[in-house]
Amino acid sequence: MVTDSLVINPGRLRILMGLASGGVQEFVQLRASVRLTDGNLVTHARRLESAGLIQSTKARRAGRGVTTFAITEAGRTELRRRADELVDALRGTGQIHANLPEGAEETVEDWID
């Protein structure tokens, strides 16, 4: 299950949007487009990949390691869901639905990432 805090983090949201609009991208290209440091990109990408929202592929080219990233269908669906929520909120026609387990209540700690 994808939690709200996973996707609404600005760095992870930029990665998802960058991959959704730019297709498969090499690490250097993605880093430049989302303007994250190497460490931040790696950390956020790992979280997104462990949730099944993106996938990475490592290969060797001219003796050097090259990592490429792509958004998964689940990632595209989640990004679309978030965009729909925002548009509905702007129109005044929707409600924000947190992805919480049945019967759970959201706490301040849920927003600490």
pLDDT in tens, 17-71: 999 998 899 999 999 999 999 999 999 999 999 999 999 999 998 888 899 999 9
* Number of structural domains the chain divides into: 1
Domain annotation covers residue 110: no
What residue type is 6 in one-letter code? L
Domain annotation covers residue 95: no
Domain annotation covers residue 84: yes
Q: What is the pTM of this model?
A: 0.75
CA torsion through residues 21, 25, 31, 33, sign: negative
Burial class (CB in 10 A: 0-12, 13-18, 19+), 72: middle
Query: Which residue's entry shows tokens 């049945």?
Result: 102
As a whole number of angstroms, the distance between CA 76 and CA 113 comes to 22
